[in-house]
Structure 1
């Protein structure tokens, strides 16, 4: 089912506008999914670029935003994309905000932990496998089937979302071409996944090789950033970056890593600037002076 976003604020504006004979400014579209993978109804918030038309032959990259609810990162990232489109800093793109359901992010963004402290603090955690299957088998196919998409896909994740984006990069790297990983919570499970990073690099390497054989121009771009964080956050981010650097060095430009800590920002303020910098790096050739 497809409808305009109508949060409580938009409903207020709608009624106010009706009383004053004014129009409401719609920002996006809502898609609802009866997810078999998650066993519940979930919501996607979708921003379409200016001049988008379903009958056009033009297709667009898709940017998937974790923590993509109306009151989370979706409107901010979609607004940033619109702004950067206005100045031709990145191609016009479709933005898909993947909404959370209540406190489901703690369940959806974490793999099962063996750490008693994690289990005590987040007793509903450990559902990332189902959520990744939801992305792969329900969300992405729905967007590709119903919207004018091309093959290029980007994922953005911060904090626990950065943990999930890292897990996808390690385990199912073919799902996305571009990864924007901000302040990833790789401390989860006593850093178990990042400490086993070398075991996952073979999967990433194999995927890149397969993609390169199909398209000689193919490249996978990975942007990692964090602000002024707890020392453990810096330690695990460095482990992630070091692992990708080793692989980058063997792939002749097929893997491009950008690591840009922004130490005058903190966990709460870094996302916008980091995403902006990531897009500048990914689409450097398209920047106009």
Structure 2
């Protein structure tokens, strides 16, 4: 009996070894890090998904993209891939991507409204001021304490585009480059859009790149508001601000983000034939 068990075990071991030989070794594929930051301002832990360029060198300085809606199940992976592609094929330098995973985007990305229908549909709404404070006083200082950084970017779509617009108008110095995709400027009866001209009059004219886009297949109000904020920015008299606008002809609100970011990055890093 013992002999039979030994023979069976030998056969199973040989079979297992053959399978391993056939399949090769298996190890995790890592493209960065997942970090948790405890926020005193928000009174909660926030997850950061961080893409690090291949061959990352902690002694070098890197541009940083801060990506709203940056959960693994949201936009982190495909945006990191886009950044890697632009580094490989275009003139974009190696860049870190910090994806900020959501807890409650309706709470974090919207400012206060007295409109009863919005309060009903968005019961946790109205705390973008706290999120911006977290961003400015905790998140950015944390990232800058962990990595040597240079240029900064903010990517936001939809309600994230609303937040990116609010930061651009109220605290423009937080980032060097703003990618504002399909911004939900309809929020609170377009109150932010209506304040834009006055807010811009108080902004310093320091170097900045702002890219705005909207899909042709989106709601007419989305298109009108995106065009309106572009016009206000373009006519603000900021000589050191580069303002770009792109109507995405084949896209709607659901499909626009990836292609639109591609078009915006091309504006900054146009393709050049290798010499």
TM range (shorter): 0.7 to 0.9
The DSSP-based 3-state class of the residue aligned with 1:126 is coil
1:135-178 CA distance string (max 9 Å, x none): 1111111111101212x100000000000000000100000010
Q: TM-score, normalised by structure 1?
A: 0.84
Say which of 44, 49, 52 aligns to 2:53.
49
The residue that corresponds to 1:73 in the other structure is: 75
Report the TM-score when normalising by structure 2.
0.88
Q: Which runs of 5+ in 2 are unaligned?
A: 1-19
* Corresponding residue to 1:32 among 31, 36, 42: 36
Equivalent residue, structure 2, for 1:12: none
Q: Matched residues in 1 for 2:131 and 2:238: separation?
A: 30
Partner of residue 243, structure 1: 232
| Helix, strand or coil at the partner of 1:137 | helix
Q: Structure 2 CA distance, aligned partners of 1:283 and 1:192?
A: 34
State the alpha-carbon separation in 2 of the partners of residues 261 and 203 from structure 1. Answer: 29
Task: Provide the residue aligned with 1:195 in structure 2.
Answer: 194
Aligned match of 1:278: 264
Check the 8 A contact 2:183/2:226 in 1, yes or no: yes
The answer as to 2:223 corresponding to 1:223 is no
The alignment of Structure 1 onto Structure 2 pairs a total of residues equal to: 251
- Residue 233 of structure 1 is matched in structure 2 by 222
Q: CA deviation at 1:88?
A: 3.0
3-state DSSP class of the match of 2:202?
helix
**Residue 283 of structure 1: CA displacement?**
2.5
Partner of 1:100: 102
Q: 1:7 corresponds to which residue? A: none
| Match among 60, 63, 74 for residue 62 of structure 2 | 60
Q: Which has the larger radius of gyration?
A: 2
Spell out, residue by residue over 1:118-138, the C-alpha distance to the aligned partner (whole angstroms, 9 max, x if none).
111001000100000111111
Q: Deviations over 1:41-61 (max 9, x none)?
A: 11111001121122x3x2110
CA contact (8 A) 1:89 1:279 kept: no
Q: Counterparts in 2 of 1:25-174, with a 5 A limit?
A: 25-54=29-58, 56=59, 58-101=60-103, 104-150=104-150, 152-174=151-173
Partner of 2:272: 288
Measured in 1, the distance between the counterparts of 2:87 and 2:24 equals: 33
Alpha-carbon distance in structure 2 between the residues aligned to 1:79 and 1:233: 28
Q: Please list, as runs of the form range in 1=range in 2, the aligned pairs for 1:254-273 lying within 5 A after superposition.
A: 254-273=240-259
Asked whether the equivalents of residues 90 and 269 of structure 2 are also in contact (C-alpha less than 8 Å), the reply is no
Distance in 2 of aligned mates of 1:199 and 1:148: 35
Question: What's the CA shift string for 1:205-234, capped at 9, x where partnerless?
Answer: x2x2xx4xxxxxxx2010000112111111
Query: What residue in structure 1 maps to residue 27 of structure 2?
Result: 23
| Distance across 2 between alignment mates of 1:234 and 1:195 | 16
Backbone CA RMSD of aligned residues: 1.5
Residue 5 (structure 1) aligns with? none
The answer to whether the 8 A contact 2:214-2:248 is kept is yes
Distance 1:29 1:269 in 2: 27
Where does structure 1 lack aligned partners over 5 or more consecutive residues? 1-16, 212-218
